[in-house]
Amino acid sequence: MEKEKGFINRRSFLHGVGAIGMLAALEKLAPAYTRTPLGPASGLQPGGELSGSVIDLTIAETPFRVGKRVGKANTINGTLPGPIIRLKEGQDVTLNVTNRLKVTSSIHWHGILVPPAMDGVPGVSYAGIEPGETFVYKFPIKQSGTYWYHSHSPGQEQAGVYAPFIIDPIKPDPVEHDREYVVVLSDWSFMSGGDMISKVKKNSGYFNMQQRTMQEFLSNAKEYGLKPTWSNYTMWAQMRMDPTDFADATGSIYTYLMNGLPTEGNWTGIFTPGERVRLRFINVGAMTFHDVRIPGLKMTIVQADGQNVQPVEVDEFRFGPAETYDVIVTPSEDRAYTIFSEVLDRSGFVRGTLAPRPGMSAEIPARRPRPLRTMQGMGMDMEGMDPSMMKVEMGENKKAGSMPMSMDMMDMSKDKQMQMPEMKPAAPKMDKMPMPKSDDMKMPGMDMHGMDMGKMSKSDIPGSMPVKHGPDKHGSGNQMSPGTTVSQLDKPGIGLGGDGRKVLVYTDLKAVEKFYDTRAPQRELELHATGNMERFMWSFDGKKFSAAEPVRFKYGERLRWTFVNDTMMEHTFHLHGMWMHLENGAGDYLPRKHTVLVKPAERVSVAITPDARGPWAFHCHLIMHMETGMFRVVFVSDEIEEGK
């Protein structure tokens, strides 16, 4: 059967009310390749895919209406997402990008190896594209796989300047499939990125509508007991931290989209029963981690960040902003299947459909409750802590589908009580708090500098043994640091792994072929993700971008770069211009990635062979974190100064 490619349903940028109004709202923004086919075949419509040696792109502002609301999107060639660029490994391409916005714009070719002057990062590789000007990108295509392209200018990516970039291999594709679809997951808000940052700088929990309430306290007290509930709530309040803080921007401000459509739009991919269908998932979300599953179908992961991996069958996978995964599914029944993506903090979701015929849909799975951050998961010292204090977190996370914590690995001996650090007390956000007896308020202290992370990862993974930290040495920009960090590559992450589903973990990923450079790293660097969430300041090693020196790589060396997450939030770190080999215990078959997800209190090591001289961007791909300081320039040169 002929392989078929692309999107197949109408696309619009929708938010809000009524399926009929939503479907009718944005005809202007629907690229041709998204329209519903007339029959069971679902190939691209004319003009839906750009290819060839010369491609013209225009960035512009496009008005649109959503229900009774009128807004503006930044678009590529008048559509959102923009057109698929489809090229072939080994060819040369010229891309003429014209900026019709009133401000400077840019295009970065995410994950694609290009000369530094073509990378598209204003202030690093070039000045950007001024209003009314055209910038000509020229570069050879050296790779194949699933990638994407987007603006690297403030606020524009979230506003719609993103699109898929698919490269077919020069050799026969080792991933056999009968048809394929690109599945772009994104988050949309009528509020600008700048306004969102302004809100969270004034109140870090501004968009969190799932904070613990008085009603939840009473329910927890009834289920787990008053003393452990009181102790747990008060402990978090004294730390001025929130166990429900998973996302800076949530479903209260975002509408989650699949190929430009919300759940009511029901993006649909057509299949014939028995076909092998390739789904190219791309997370272009500005701030959103997605948990993806297709109830009734196993997914076989065949590619990560555009690079082929040895097939691994899963029920669900989590990926963060800028990551991509290709999966194969084989629907055998003549019925519809729901493609379901739930966001990490459970404040929203988006669904699409795989079906043998247009117009079909399947049941939307039941929503999972939001989990809770845990002391253990954030790197706090559990030594000497009253075990009953953890009952609330453990019980609530079990309901949310989290992998059970390993209590037997914690030293809970009551003769080792700790001193509470000096902190300004802050009561939990409740109208009234029931006061327990005085004996119930004897709560152990919290040490911010030491913790046992439970069951350790494989010993052959760098950083798999816990690393204890002394006083914070990463600068005043860090609110507080975990006492212990460790590799968690074999852990699915908060809210996953406890409901019997097989969840993809990083230790599952193995390259299909060995990389040419299998040398042991000759040099090691360490970089700490730091931040003050209350003030919404993000940085590396306690310094925001404006106060930091470049990171220096030597051309041709083999080095290890270890990322240490000293914050209570997940991040995805993206390195431009070269591959990172994830040191996950796969030996000579380390998977290549351009973006890695790092959990709270986790150490993740990557091996790098810098093979492209010049300045390159490195940053957190959560846009609000990048724009408030979590950014560095990596400079690759033939020589570096001693000690750098």
CATH for 536: 2.60.40.420
d(CA 399, CA 542): 36
Domain-located, residue 365: no
Q: Residue 467 domain-assigned? A: no
Instruction: Report how far Cα 349 is from the mean position of its chain's Cα atoms.
Output: 15
The type of residue at 315 is D
- Is 417 found in the same domain as 557? no
Contacts of 181 (CB under 8 A, 6+ apart): 5, 6, 7, 8, 42, 269, 277, 278, 279, 280
Spatial separation of the C-alpha atoms in residues 256 and 247, rounded to whole Å: 14
Q: Does the pLDDT value for residue 198 go beyond 60?
A: yes
Domain assignment present for residue 49? The answer is yes
The predicted model scores a pTM of: 0.86
In this structure, are 491 and 446 located in the same domain?
Answer: no
Is residue 479 included in any domain, yes or no? no
Burial 263-294 (b: 16+ CB within 10 A, else e): bbbbbbbbbeeebbbbbbbbbbbbbbbbbbbb
Q: Are 143 and 282 within one domain?
A: yes
Q: What is the pLDDT of residue 376?
A: 74
pLDDT, mean of residues 68-76: 83
Q: What is the mean pLDDT of the chain?
A: 83
Residues 226 and 281 in one domain: no
Q: Number of structural domains, the chain?
A: 3
DSSP per position, 193-253:
HHHHHHHHHH-TTTT------HHHHHHHHHHH-HHHHHHHHHHHHHTT--TT---SS-TTT
- What's the pLDDT score for residue 484? 82
Q: 388 with 331, same domain?
A: no
The pLDDT tens digits for 491-525 are 999 999 999 999 999 999 999 999 999 899 999 99
Residue 477, domain member (yes or no): no
What pLDDT is recorded for position 480?
61
Answer yes or no: is 364 within a domain: no
> Is there a single domain that holds both residue 235 and residue 259?
no
Q: What is the pLDDT of residues 150-188, one digit of tens each?
A: 999 999 999 999 999 999 999 999 999 999 999 999 999
Contacts of 473 (CB under 8 A, 6+ apart): none
Q: Is the pLDDT reported for residue 457 higher than 70? A: no
The answer to whether the bond into 81 is cis (omega within 30° of 0) is: yes
Q: How confident is the model at residue 625 (pLDDT cuts 50, 70, 90)?
A: very high
Residues 536 and 624 placed together within one structural domain of the fold:
yes
pLDDT digits (tens, 9 = 90+) for 360-369: 999 999 999 9
Strands 523-532 and 559-565 come out as parallel
The Cβ-side half-sphere exposure at 75, using a 13 Å CA radius, reads 22
Phi, psi of 9 (to 5 degrees): -125, 165
Over residues 359-381, the mean pLDDT reads 87
Does 405 have pLDDT greater than 90? no
Query: Model confidence at 355, in pLDDT bands (50, 70, 90)?
Result: very high
Range(s) of the domain holding residue 125 = 19-192+253-355
Last residue of a domain, one of 290, 321, 355: 355
Distance CA 334, CA 353 (A): 13
- Which of the pair, 480 or 303, is modelled with greater confidence? 303
Per-residue model confidence as pLDDT tens digits over 310-329: 999 999 999 999 999 999 99
Q: Which residue has the higher pLDDT, 392 or 472?
A: 392
Are residue 382 and residue 521 in the same domain, yes or no? no
Helices and strands (H, E) in the chain, number of each type: 6, 33
Phi then psi for residue 174, to 5 deg, are -70, -15
The span from the CA of 183 to the CA of 189, in Å, is: 20
Contact 418, 381 (CB under 8 A): yes
Same domain? For 30 and 84 the reply is yes
291, 327: one domain: yes
248 domain residue, yes or no:
no
Check whether residue 27 and residue 97 sit in a common domain: yes
Residues 448 and 328 in one domain: no
- Per the listing, tokens 């289920």 go with 223
| 325, 499 Cβ separation under 8 angstroms | no
Closest CA to 76 of 185, 188, 168, 157: 157
Q: What percent of the chain has pLDDT over 90?
A: 68
pLDDT computed for residue 636 by the predictor: 98
Q: Is the pLDDT of residue 9 over 60?
A: no
Q: Residue 486 carries which DSSP code? A: B
Rg of the chain over Cα atoms, rounded to whole angstroms, equals: 24
Question: d(Cα 282, Cα 276) in Å, to the nearest integer?
Answer: 19
- Residue of 497, 484, 499, 511 lying closest to 591 (CA atoms): 511
Burial of 620 (0-12, 13-18, 19+ CB in 10 A): buried
- Measure the CA angle with vertex 617, ends 612 and 622; round to 5°: 140
- pLDDT category at 16 given cuts 50, 70, 90 is very low
User: Given pLDDT bands bounded at 50, 70 and 90, which one contains residue 455?
Assistant: very low
Phi and psi of 273, rounded to 5°? -50, 135
Which segment of 343-347, 370-374, 455-459, 528-532 scores lowest on mean pLDDT?
A: 455-459
Is residue 12 included in any domain, yes or no?
no
Residue 47: pLDDT band with limits 50, 70, 90: very low
